[in-house]
C-alpha cells in the first residue's frame, strides 16, 4: 500500500493524557508504568490530581493508598484507560480498569474517573484485546 507512518503519527493514551494535563497546567501524582515515566515526567510535590496508568507491579497497597488519600482531599482521578484485561503470551492479564474502579469506589461520593477527552470510546487495535472487545468501546 505504500503508507509511510512515523512515530509522530501515533496517538496513545500516554499522548492523550500528557496533552490533557498540559492544557490546564495540572500537577499530577502519577501512578504509572516505569516504561512511560520518562514521557510523563515525575509526580508533583503538591499534586492537584491523580493520574492512573498501567503501573504493572507498581500497584502496591502503599501506592494505591497514597492515591486514595489524594482523592479523599478532593483531587480528581484521571485514568489513561479503563480496560479490564489484555492478552499477553501467558494468557489474559488484569488491566488497570480494575484499579480505576477500586479508587472510584473508595473515593468521595464514588466519583467516576475521567479519561482524557480525546480518548473516549477508543480501543487501540494492538492485538492485546480480543475481537469481541472492539464492539465494546471503553469496556475491553
> Residue 130's pLDDT is what?
56
CA 54 to chain CA centroid, nearest Å: 6
Domain ranges of the chain: 26-119
Is the domain covering 26-119 a CATH 3.30.465.10 domain?
A: no
Q: What is the pLDDT of residue 124?
A: 53
Q: State residue 78's pLDDT score.
A: 92
- pLDDT mean values, one per 10 residues, the chain (140 residues): 76 87 90 91 95 86 95 92 88 89 83 65 53 52
Distance of CA 83 to the CA centre of its chain: 9
Question: Residue 121's pLDDT is what?
Answer: 52
The alpha-helical segments, DSSP class H, found in the chain are 13-22, 37-40, 61-72, 97-106
In the Cβ-directed half-sphere of 23, how many Cα atoms lie within 13 Å? 8
CB-side exposure of 87: number of CA atoms within 13 Å? Answer: 11
CA gap 80, 32 in Å, rounded: 9
Dist. CA 56–CA 24, nearest whole Å: 28
- Confidence at residue 84, expressed as pLDDT on a 0 to 100 scale: 87
**What global pTM score does this model have?**
0.76
Note the pLDDT of residue 139: 43
Would you state the pLDDT for residue 140? 42
Amino acid at each position: 500500500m505504500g503508507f509511510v507512518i512515523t512515530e509522530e503519527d501515533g496517538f496513545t493514551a500516554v499522548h492523550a493524557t500528557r496533552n490533557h494535563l498540559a492544557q490546564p497546567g495540572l500537577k499530577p501524582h502519577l501512578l504509572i508504568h516505569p516504561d512511560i515515566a520518562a514521557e510523563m515526567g515525575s509526580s508533583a510535590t503538591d499534586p492537584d490530581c491523580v493520574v492512573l496508568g498501567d503501573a504493572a507491579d507498581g500497584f502496591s497497597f502503599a501506592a494505591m493508598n497514597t492515591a486514595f488519600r489524594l482523592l479523599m482531599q478532593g483531587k480528581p482521578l484521571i485514568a489513561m484507560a479503563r480496560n479490564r484485561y489484555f492478552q499477553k503470551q501467558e494468557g489474559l492479564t488484569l488491566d488497570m480498569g480494575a484499579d480505576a474502579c477500586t479508587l472510584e469506589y473508595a473515593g468521595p461520593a464514588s466519583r467516576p474517573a475521567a479519561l482524557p477527552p480525546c480518548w473516549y470510546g477508543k480501543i487501540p487495535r494492538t492485538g492485546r484485546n480480543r475481537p469481541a472487545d472492539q464492539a465494546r468501546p471503553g469496556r475491553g
